[in-house]
């Protein structure tokens, strides 16, 4: 384990750059040498912050999680529980991907595909982030059902899976085709799916 960072602000700036690089080239492509070159620093200078590639990868996942919370979760949670919050979570996620908070779109979509079949601490960290996001969406749906804003037979886990699939497909397709249209299609799909559940509500 590396020693305590000599400058926490510098460390955070390094990690933010690392997250940008990893969103494009993956966490496996993230090396101390490449990161140092992108920052105009010496490779040896980064060893004071990260003692190994795995330590760098894990720290990068943590900083990416903080950025995700800042841009997606925290703003959406300002909306009261229920379907309004659910729509806000989806809208904030699409904005986060569309605005290229990370140049490679969603950091987690890019890196989870890279590590999904590779056991180890990095996969565990990414899996935990995935579970937390899915759990939040599912709980938000359950809250909307409890508030009588969605049909009572709505399956929170199933609907969360569908909504996240819309979001991730928009992210991947927009990046590949360099086209904003998938975001608009995802917005329409999400609203159509939720409106259908509202329409089935007896109230």
Q: What pLDDT does 202 receive?
A: 59
- The alpha carbon dihedral of 144, 149, 153, 154 has a sign of negative
Does residue 5 surpass a pLDDT of 50? no
Q: How far apart are CA 36 and CA 32, in angstroms?
A: 6
pLDDT tens per residue across span 18-75: 999 999 999 998 888 888 888 888 777 777 788 788 999 999 999 999 999 999 999 9
pLDDT tens per residue across span 97-141: 999 999 999 999 999 989 999 999 999 999 999 999 999 999 999
- Who contacts 199 (Cβ-Cβ below 8 Å, separation ≥6)? none
Query: What ranges do the domains of the chain cover?
Result: 61-199
Could you say which architecture CATH assigns to the domain 61-199?
Orthogonal Bundle (1.10)
pTM for the full predicted model? 0.90
């Amino acid at each position: 384990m590396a020693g305590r960072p000599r400058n926490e602000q510098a460390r955070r700036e390094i990690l933010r750059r690392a997250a940008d690089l990893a969103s494009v080239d993956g966490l496996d492509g993230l090396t101390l040498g490449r990161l140092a070159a992108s920052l105009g620093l010496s490779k040896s200078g980064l060893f004071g912050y990260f003692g190994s590639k795995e330590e760098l990868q894990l720290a990068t996942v943590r900083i990416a999680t903080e950025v995700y919370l800042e841009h997606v979760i925290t703003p959406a949670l300002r909306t009261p529980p229920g379907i309004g919050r659910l729509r806000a979570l989806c809208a904030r996620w699409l904005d986060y991907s569309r605005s290229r908070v990370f140049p490679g779109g969603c950091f987690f979509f890019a890196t989870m595909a890279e590590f999904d079949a590779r056991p180890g601490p990095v996969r565990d960290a990414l899996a935990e982030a995935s579970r937390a996001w899915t759990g939040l969406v599912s709980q938000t749906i359950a809250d909307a059902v409890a508030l009588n804003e969605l049909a009572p037979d709505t399956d929170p886990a199933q609907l969360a899976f569908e909504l996240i699939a819309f979001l991730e497909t928009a992210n991947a397709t927009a990046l590949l085709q360099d086209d904003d249209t998938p975001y608009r299609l995802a917005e329409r799909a999400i609203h159509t799916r939720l409106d259908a559940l509202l329409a089935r509500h007896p109230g």
